[in-house]
Structure 1
Amino acid sequence: MPQLEVDGATLTYDDEGPRDGEAVPLVFVHGWTADRHRWDHQMAHFAERRRAVRLDLRGHGESTGAGARRVGDLADDVLALLDHLKIERFVIIGHSMGGMIAQTIALAHPERVERMVLVNSIGKMAYSRGRALLMAASTLAPFKLFVAANIQRAFAPGYPREEIREYIRASAETPREVVMTLYGAMRAFDILDQVGQIQVPTLMVHGYHDIQLPLSQMLRMAKAYPDAVVRVLDAGHELPVEKPAELTTALDRFLTDRA
């Protein structure tokens, strides 16, 4: 289990697959309160024939470190890892907050990003006044209740309750300071007026039942992208675990069609 020291954090990562292929490496970035194992299905599939990297973001999973104040700080961590691994050009695949990180990297370093995949992600968290007040009030709830409420609603109706309870338990193990600091960082994230500058071919895969980051917001953002393909699946916000095989197929087709 390799690790890298970066700016006061210890990042745990996986670097799998052949190094001698022509295809550029895939880089998987998970979302808020999750960990690198969200990508188990995709790693098992793609690492058979191309290099694939994933990491636990600082303060998540088996990585240590305080919560980042900005999404850009997490993007810096990802780039530091890729520099350490001597990966210059890559396909970046981000889920939820991981998609915010991916877009930040694509804007700052377009020469390094060959393609990008955004899974249940958007360029700005925008809600009605009532919804915004409800979200702000939820931060005053006991920590475990706050986490449970957010994770519970991330899944589409009908997803097994026992599995949701396990994801809630795992998310609640993320340090409170990390959870709350990054919650603020995501709410402050806003690149909607810049996404038109992202020229790399992009796949946007979204769950139809996503109420964390609604489909309507993704579609509004997608219109500004110069080169975007949109796929909508019958799932909620947690596509990598709700519909792992369907997501992998969508990624495979995108990468193959664009090869």
Structure 2
Amino acid sequence: MPQLEVDGAALTYDDEGPRDGEGVPLVFVHGWTANRHRWDHQVAHFAERRRVVRLDLRGHGESGGAGVRTIDALAKDVLALLDHLKIERFVIIGHSMGGMIAQTIALSHPERVERLVLVNSIGRMAYNRGRALLMAASTLAPFKLFVAANIQRAFAPGHPREEIREYIRASADTPREVVMTLYGAMRAFDVLDRVAEIQAPTLMVHGYHDIQLPVSQMLRMAKAYPDAVIRIVDAGHELPVEKPAELTTALDRFLTGRD
């Protein structure tokens, strides 16, 4: 796989599909402790007719690097890759933390974002007092238990256990420093008061059973967006792998202007 060196980290990425295909390139950004293969179904579908780019974020998957502290820093990595590939304008699609990165880019470089897609993502993490205490306490658990608990509850009830175990193993391979630092970065992320500035047409696809980032929080954010399409799917937080075909269909409808 090709790699790009950015500030001491070798970022692994895929750049697929025809350069002169339909529309501007699609850029897929995965979430916390995940990797670029979360998007396998979508990339296989869209790369047949348009350029598609995805990467393993710093410290994730096959990318090196640690020490990343903020969502802004990850957004700069994504932009560095797009600059390297000479991609000026694009559609950016982010899952969970990847959606936070996508919103950051849409706010800092609105001229480059043609459309925005947020999958199980929000503009501000909000907890009641009880949930906040529970989340804070979970960081004190042994690292592998902390990861396992977070990944387990990311899936809707009934998802095959063997698949969940595979995702837990892959997530636990992410360096502890990266996992814990970005956990804090997500909790600190807050652009809710700025999302009305985002003028790009936006699709929000969310799992009805998402308890990591509840659908109620997404709907609160959606009210501030000037131009948003909302899709609620019978899934949990890991919608790209729980209901990949439904997500791909929603993306296809949005990108072709049928929504």
TM-score, structure 2 length as denominator?
0.99
Q: Is 1:4 aligned to residue 10 of structure 2?
A: no
1:41 aligns with 2:41: yes
CA contact (8 A) 1:236 1:242 kept: yes
Deviation per CA, 1:105-130: give whole Å up to 9, x if none: 00000000000000000001101011
State the SS of the aligned residue for 1:250.
helix
| Counterpart residue identity of residue 206, structure 2 | H
Match of 1:248 in 2: 248
> Structure 2: how far apart are the matches of 1:55 and 1:67?
18
1:120 matched to 2:120? The reply is yes
Match runs of 1:143-222 below 5 Å: 143-222=143-222
Q: Say if 2:94 and 2:117, in contact at 8 Å, map to a contact too.
A: yes
Distance 1:8 1:183 in 2: 22
Partners of 2:202 and 2:63 lie apart in 1 by 29
- Indicate conservation of the 8 Å contact 1:67/1:179, yes or no: no
Cα displacement (A) at 1:252: 0.1
Query: Does 2:78 align with 1:60?
Result: no
CA contact (8 A) 2:124 2:191 kept: yes
Deviation of 1:21 after TM superposition, in Å, equals 2.4
Q: What whole-Å deviation, never above 9, does each CA across 1:216-251 have from its counterpart, x for those lacking one? A: 000000000000000000000000000000000000
The alpha carbon displacement at 1:67 in A equals 3.9
Q: Distance in 2 between matches of 1:142 and 1:53?
A: 35
* Aligned-residue offset at 1:22: 4.6
The 2-side partners of 1:252 and 1:104 are apart by 23
Matched, 1:51 2:51: yes
RMSD: 0.9
Q: 1:82-101 counterparts in 2 under 5 A? A: 82-101=82-101
Mapping for residues 216-231 of structure 1, pairs under 5 Å: 216-231=216-231
- Alpha-carbon distance in 1 for matches of 2:178, 2:62: 13
User: 2:126 & 2:65 partners in 1: Cα distance?
Assistant: 29
**Structure 1, unpaired ranges of 5+:** none
Contact 2:22 2:49 in 1 (8 A): no
- Distance in 1 separating the partners of 2:67 and 2:253: 35
CA–CA distance in 2 between the matches of 1:106 and 1:175? 28
1:67–1:178 contact (8 Å) kept in structure 2:
yes
1:257 CA drift (Å): 1.0
Is residue 2:122 matched to residue 1:142?
no
Please give the alpha-carbon distance, in whole angstroms, between the structure 1 residues aligned to 2:214 and 2:40.
25
3-state SS of 1:203 partner:
strand
In 1, the alpha carbon distance for the partners of 2:86 and 2:14 equals 14
Q: 1:155 to 1:71 in 2, by over 3 A?
A: same
- Supply the distance in 2 between the matched residues of 1:126 and 1:67 (Cα, whole angstroms): 25
Name the count of aligned residue pairs. Answer: 259
One-letter amino acid of the structure 2 residue matched with residue 66 of structure 1: A
Q: Partners of 2:168 and 2:125 in 1: how far apart?
A: 22
In 1: Cα distance, 2:8 partner to 2:132 partner: 33
Q: Which runs of 4+ in 1 moved over 2 A?
A: none
- TM-score, scaled to structure 1: 0.99
Distance 1:91 1:213 in 2: 23
> SS at the partner of 2:159?
coil
